[in-house]
Every structure is written in structure tokens, then in C-alpha cells.
Structure 1
Amino acid sequence: MIPAASRDAVLYAEAEDGELIGYRVTAPRDGDGAEGAPGSPPVLLVHGFASDAATTWERTGWVRALTDAGRTVITLDLRGHGASDKPIAAASYTPEVFGADLLAVLDTAGVDRADAIGYSMGTRILSAAALLAPERLRRVVIGGAGPNELFASWDLDEVRGLLLRGESTGHPLVDQVLKPALSAGGDAEALLGVVEGFAGAPLEFPRGIRSLFVVGEDDPVPAGAGGLAEAWGSELVAIPRRDHVSTLTARAFKDAAIAFLASP
């Protein structure tokens, strides 16, 4: 049971290595003490690289849409991002470390089992958490991700040059991801640690955790998601005229995710 005093306040979970992970709990506005629809677990939202919970989930209307649907929402800033601690060693950013962070947040929030929505890198972090403790996740929505992990194709020397010395990489997608992160005040050394430590992270979920894929039709990042969805027996929702950023704001994404998490 999530304590009422914690709702809407920034809280911190201590990770296995002592780093602090900032998270927030938002309950439905109707009904004092409501935990969402009867029998529905909280929804854990996991953002992607070089972002934070406020940018990915609050400003795009996700938290409001889910709480309007009667669901309690847990958002967190991944380590290296936002209000969470920002170690610089690549070993602090392996998939297993990130996955354990999610479990620490659920433990601290007093949540035994959750539904979850991940976006981009966040989907692979959900995968890592599910592989560590499959009983903690009921259903997952996989947004903006496919079989190919993005960082594995990046040249680390070029990434290092951009993050630490401001040198363009010559690769539009890498520059498009990293330059805004630096402009927004992202910690360059921590982001470099994420790229190094997380590169090649798998995307897989144990049997028994149902999944839904959602992709933008104009987004190259989740290429091949249709094949994964077919192999897993999962539904795929493709949103027309949306790229990797604009998919997040699509009402069709929210509606598909909310319906999937509410279905029997």
C-alpha cells in the first residue's frame, strides 16, 4: 500500500550500490486514498536516455491520462538523469544495475507488483527488471523500441568527443540525441557512462508477462519491432506520421496503453 503522504512528493529509493533514485507517486484525484481501479496495480513509467520523468511523462500528459483512468502512477528519474544520483563509471549503468533500481523503487514504494510502460531505452531497463524478478511485473507496454539496441552502433570515441569536448560526430541521429541533452544541462560524464555501460542491452521478457508494442511509423529506432511482436504473440500498434519524439505525445499511444493495461 502506498502511503498517502508520499503522493506527488519527490521521494528517494536507495539502490543496491547506495545511489539514490528519485521517484514520484501520483494517485487518481477522485477518491481520497484510492489506489486506482479495483484490482489494478500501480503503473510504473520508465523514461529513455537523456530525459527524465517530467519531460517524458508529465509534460506529455501521460500521468494525467493514467490517473484520469483511475491508475496510481509511479515515475522515476533513472540514475544519471534528473533528480537521481549520477555516477560516472560505466559499471554503474549496466542493464542489471538499472533493472535493480526499478525493483528498489517498487520496494521503497511498497508495491509488490506493477504494470509498466517504458519508452526507448526504458523498455530495455524494464526487460532487465523482469529478468531479475518476473513476478514483479504483470504487463508491459514497449514504446519506441525494437530488436536493435541503439548505443551498440555508436562509435564511443565520437560519443566521448561530443559529450566531453563538444565535437560533432558526423552522425545526425547521435548528434540529435546528445546535443539537446547537453543544452538541457545533462551531466556529460554520466551520460557517457550510460552509453558505455548499457550498449548492447537485450530486449526480452519472461513468459507470462504480456506485452504491447507501440511505434511511430516514421521512427527508425524501433525497426524490426513487428517481427518481435509476432514472435512473442504481442499486439503491435503503429501510429501514423509520428517519429521517435512525437510518438510520445500521441493520444493514440495513451489510449492503446491504457486499454491494454485495463483488459482482462
Structure 2
Amino acid sequence: MRIHVDRHPGQDPVLLVHGFATTGALTWEATGWVAALAAAGRGALVPDLRGHGASEKPHEASAYSPELLARDLLAVLDEQGVGGVDVIGYSMGSWVALALVGLAPERVRRVVVGGVGTVEQFGRWGVADVRRAILDGVDTLPPESPLAPLLASLREAPGVDREALAACAEGMAAHPLPLASTVPTLLVVGEADPVAEGVDDAAALLGAELVVLPRRNHITTLSARGFKQAALPFLGASVSL
């Protein structure tokens, strides 16, 4: 599996794991995370998950699961010569980050996860309907679904491999969420984020410190200054925003 990764200069790089239907650059560079880490003297490893960006895009649902994507991250760490690492994941990337903790806890020092609760969203809204919305642009999801605006935006996004994203959604939904952590964990969510359903239970299951950002939703939490102000000190980095 060919996995694209950008390495940004700096000491002790942080592994940054993006979510569904986006890329590493859009998630972490465009929102100021790479710059914030650089200001704190930290580098960054920014991969594109399989099915996304410049990485390989299999069209089979069997090619996607939290563990398979986590194994890709482990291969990235090996290829980059990085042993122990701090990890930040967001949305679907949080599940991949937690799967990495389960797969190789000796490689993860601390993990920050954002934009998740206890509910797997693809299954919650029906995998078949999600697949149709991705592939055909059919409004098969109810308007209250937090996936509806994301999938609507996919119809306008250039260069998206819809077959790969449909396979990813189906494959990820077929596996239980990795709601466990054996390393220090921080969970950050927006107060107005419907994707973070069950966040208090999620924090308890993870043994995580929980930070809730007022008035932030699933999209605006990612770029929030408060997210960085919580995450960087947790990772032992100074905040300069």
C-alpha cells in the first residue's frame, strides 16, 4: 500500500491523522496546526490515509478498518525512522490514532483525539445510504445527519475518488470503535458537534482528560485556537498563538 506523507522540519515530530474525505494538508496545514507545532519547536508527520489524497485508493471495503489504517501509520513511522511519537487525530483519524495505540502502544507516548464520541457515524446513518450519497449524490440522508453537509460537499470537491471513499465508509463501519487507550489521552470536542455524541462516556472509556470548546461544531473545532491551547501543553509543547 503506497502511503503519501509530508514531513515538516522540527524536533520530535508529531504524527497528525486526518479524518474522512479530506487530506493531511487540508486538515493540518490549512488550519494552522503545522505552524503552531513549528512555533513550539516541534516537527510534524502528515500522512494521507489510504483512500485519500495522494495515497493509494483501493475500492474494496475489506481494505479499510481502523487497524489496517493504523498499520499504515506504523509503516510511516518505520520508514521515517521515528520510534516513539505523540499523535493527534481528528474525526475518523481519532479512531485510527486509537487503533495505533492498541496495535503498538510502545510507539505512542501521548494521544490527542478530537471530534468523536461513542457512536460510529457511518453505521449510525446507514451504510447503504451513505454509500449512495457518496457515489450518486442522492440525498438519502436525513437533514439532521451531521454527515449530510460533508457528503454534499464531496459532490463539489475536485479529485475525490468516490469509489474509494464509499469503500472506506463501508469498511470502517464493519469494525468496532477502538474505544480504549493505554497511554495518556486528551479528548477535545466542540460543544455544538453532533458527531461527538456520548462524549462523556467516551472520555470515561478512554480514561481521557476532556475539553469541550464552547459554541464550536465539528468543522470549527478543528481550527479553534482553544483546541491548540489544550493539545500543545498536553504534548509538552509551548503555546505561541
Q: Same fold (TM over 0.5)?
A: yes
Aligned residues: 233
1:223, distance to aligned residue in structure 2 (A) = 1.7
Aligned with 1:83: secondary structure? coil
Aligned with 1:20: secondary structure? coil
Does residue 256 in structure 1 map to residue 230 in structure 2? yes
The one-letter amino acid paired with 1:203 is: P
Q: Between the two proteins, what is the percent identity of the paired residues?
A: 48
1:87-109 C-alpha deviation (Å, 9 max, x unpaired): 10001112221110010110111
Cα distance in structure 2, aligned partners of 1:127 and 1:202: 9
Cα distance in structure 2, aligned partners of 1:92 and 1:234: 30
1:177-199 C-alpha deviation (Å, 9 max, x unpaired): 21212311321100100011001
After superposition, the Cα gap between the structure-2 partners of 1:211 and 1:91, relative to the gap in structure 1 and judged at 3 Å, is: same
Cα distance in structure 2, aligned partners of 1:231 and 1:133: 19
Partner of residue 190, structure 1: 164
Cα distance in structure 2, aligned partners of 1:138 and 1:231: 18
User: After alignment, is 178-187 or 91-100 more displaced?
Assistant: 178-187
Residue pairs, 1:41-56, within 5 angstroms: 41-56=12-27
Cα distance in structure 1, aligned partners of 2:194 and 2:62: 28
Contact 1:118 1:143 in 2 (8 A): yes
Partner of residue 38, structure 2: 67
Unaligned 5+ segments in structure 1 are 1-18, 29-34, 36-40
Residue pairs, 1:168-183, within 5 angstroms: 168-172=139-143, 173-183=146-156
Structure 2 counterpart of 1:205, from 180, 186, 196? 180
Does residue 235 in structure 1 map to residue 216 in structure 2? no
1:142-171 C-alpha deviation (Å, 9 max, x unpaired): 111111111121223322322222211142
1:72-125 C-alpha deviation (Å, 9 max, x unpaired): 111111111111111100011122211100101101110011000000100100
Aligned with 1:245: secondary structure? helix
The one-letter amino acid paired with 1:24 is: D
Cα distance in structure 2, aligned partners of 1:161 and 1:228: 29
1:140, distance to aligned residue in structure 2 (A) = 0.3
Contact 2:134 2:154 in 1 (8 A): no
Unaligned 5+ segments in structure 2 are none
User: After alignment, is 243-252 or 196-205 more displaced?
Assistant: 196-205
TM-score w.r.t. the length of structure 2 is 0.92
The one-letter amino acid paired with 1:21 is: I
Cα distance in structure 2, aligned partners of 1:231 and 1:128: 14
Partner of residue 88, structure 1: 59
TM-score w.r.t. the length of structure 1 is 0.84
Cα distance in structure 2, aligned partners of 1:164 and 1:229: 34
Does residue 21 in structure 1 map to residue 6 in structure 2? no
Aligned with 2:195: secondary structure? coil
Higher relative contact order (CA 8 A, sep 6+): 2
Structure 2 counterpart of 1:166, from 113, 137, 140? 137
Higher alpha-carbon Rg: 1
Cα distance in structure 2, aligned partners of 1:251 and 1:166: 34
Cα RMSD for the two superposed structures: 1.5
The one-letter amino acid paired with 1:169 is: T
